[in-house]
Chains A and B, each alone.
Chain A
């Protein structure tokens, strides 16, 4: 499923002019609150009618203002997970999960979702006979995700589904989402203002700022794009890595497009594909190969370009092998190293964190 989206809408305080495409996988709509993320999702769902726009899901036109097409929400066959779970209080969890099924029967279902499997992945089996009033926040949100998926949607919309939950509950739900995405092959449009969610979940990213698209594309590309406007403490590269093996001292050897890396405390099987994140502020640069330092991971790289970042800082984009890394330095250091595009450097990676295992 590919979603093609274009809209223009004028609010009293904001003009939205947004266009992007969301292919299969998770596309994260990222931006500060008030930038128009929720409006975009509401337009896709048909809960808001933009002044002008065209929204197409594969070959089904959901909205075309020029042709006067505007499918009502109940005919769009989308799943919508709201920030507040919005479960029906008078129905049991099981009846909530089946609600969408009452209405999708008439559509020719390309693929019927297996209810048992989804209940299993979300871990909500023991809740089925209860009513939403007695569930915790995390439980409600898992039921809401199940309800949206069991309606057999062509596209799943998730509007900050984890924003109202604490860290422990988020950590419970994120693996469920990844598993659902991988096993069901869903297309998901996911709204978030949390960098850690973007880095972990996104296959594609759309960065919104003040109603406009600031950057869009595959996650690896957008997250290392200085023009995307990430703050220095958020910026960083994401990198796919393959597990080679573990040595006796507990260090795991990984192969990436940027070169080989050593990581401690990694319990993946050899051959597993992982996603790593290397924050820009944890990358140091050296003109000559450093010796006598504690860091284990030193990669050969070449400076692509430099972007001033505030008064004192500089964001440096590097090409290391076939991957792009970011390094955040002070302007003074950048001047001292005499960095220019094309310069060969050594990138000292102080830390790399594991984001997830990829299927």
Chain B
């Protein structure tokens, strides 16, 4: 496998996997919270929060990348705050690529989890309450197990989206091999040099394989969970 891909190409694949993995893991708690709030709570600013979450889906990725640069770049208002303490946290680093991927994938994750939460009958949660379970316990013992398929679906969708993220990443953290050059950036870079098509073709193949594997995995997991709940 390593013979088949050059070390530089291999580096791009591994970086993409790492960036996407951390993008999904790090945004999951917030995604779960926001999905629960949108599904179950009625509060002032509900529509505004919903809009904000979905914004990256409808904005041009370049705009999202630029806004990230303004916010988290070394001179951005959060970036500048972190800089004296931790050095550059996101700017031109793989963590920045993960941040960009997380923001772009967030709407998909929230949407999948929210749909799963809305499908849970609140009457079941009420029944758990009458049996002595306080709110956090109701969530942990009833809601969470029932929305697990939705969470898995949301994570895999978000992972696939993160793997394919290009516009916001290249705008925010550029295209530095080994640092921020993810699969799509590497494919783009390969197509910019004469004779780069074979490299691009190999990376495209890797992208397809990873995407297909993610899809099959999510199908298998949700089938297994559904079978468990159906009760055979």
Q: Which residues of A are in contact with B by a Cβ distance under 8 Å?
A: 45, 47, 72-80, 82, 84, 86, 88-90, 99-100, 102-104, 130-134, 147-148, 151
> Are the CB atoms of A151 and B132 closer together than 8 Å?
yes
The secondary-structure label for the interface of chain B is: helix
| Bound Cα distance A104, B134 (Å) | 11
Task: Sample 11 A-B pairs with CB under 8 A, ordered by A number.
Answer: A73-B126, A73-B129, A73-B130, A74-B131, A84-B123, A86-B124, A88-B127, A90-B146, A131-B228, A131-B230, A134-B231
In the complex, which of the residues A74, A75, A132 has the most CB atoms of chain B within 10 Å of its own CB atom?
A: A74
B interface bracket (residues with beta carbon within 8 Å of A): 20 to 34
B1 in contact (CB, < 8 A): no
| Bound Cα distance A148, B128 (Å) | 10
Partner of A103, one of B133, B142, B146, B228: B133
In the complex, which of the residues B126, B127, B128, B229 has the most CB atoms of chain A within 10 Å of its own CB atom?
A: B127
> Are the CB atoms of B131 and A99 closer together than 8 Å?
yes
Residues 136-151 (chain B) with a chain A CB within 8 angstroms: 137, 141-142, 145-146
Q: Which residues of B are in contact with A by a Cβ distance under 8 Å?
A: 121, 123-124, 126-134, 137, 141-142, 145-146, 228-232
> Are the CB atoms of A78 and B130 closer together than 8 Å?
yes
| Bound Cα distance A151, B126 (Å) | 15
> Are the CB atoms of B130 and A131 closer together than 8 Å?
no
| Bound Cα distance A37, B163 (Å) | 56
> Are the CB atoms of B230 and A133 closer together than 8 Å?
yes
| Bound Cα distance A73, B121 (Å) | 18
> Are the CB atoms of A134 and B232 closer together than 8 Å?
yes
B-chain residues with CB within 8 Å of residue A151 when the two chains form the complex: 131-132
| Bound Cα distance A100, B137 (Å) | 12
A-chain residues with CB within 8 Å of residue B129 when the two chains form the complex: 47, 72-74
| Bound Cα distance A78, B126 (Å) | 13
| Bound Cα distance A133, B226 (Å) | 11
A86-B123, A86-B124, A134-B232 known; A103 and B137 CB under 8 Å?
A: yes
Using CB atoms, name the residue of chain A closest to B146: A90
> Are the CB atoms of A130 and B231 closer together than 8 Å?
yes
> Are the CB atoms of B229 and A90 closer together than 8 Å?
yes
In the complex, which of the residues B124, B145, B231 has the most CB atoms of chain A within 10 Å of its own CB atom?
A: B231
B-chain residues with CB within 8 Å of residue A130 when the two chains form the complex: 231
CB distance from A82 to the nearest CB of B (A): 7
| Bound Cα distance A241, B140 (Å) | 52
B-chain residues with CB within 8 Å of residue A100 when the two chains form the complex: 131-132
> Are the CB atoms of A89 and B231 closer together than 8 Å?
yes
> Are the CB atoms of B231 and A79 closer together than 8 Å?
no
Q: A77-B132, A131-B230 are in contact. List 20 more A-B contacts (CB 8 A).
A: A47-B126, A47-B130, A73-B129, A74-B133, A78-B130, A80-B127, A88-B124, A89-B146, A89-B229, A90-B145, A90-B228, A99-B141, A100-B131, A103-B137, A131-B228, A131-B229, A131-B231, A134-B232, A148-B130, A151-B132
| Bound Cα distance A74, B128 (Å) | 8
| Bound Cα distance A165, B149 (Å) | 32
> Are the CB atoms of B231 and A88 closer together than 8 Å?
no
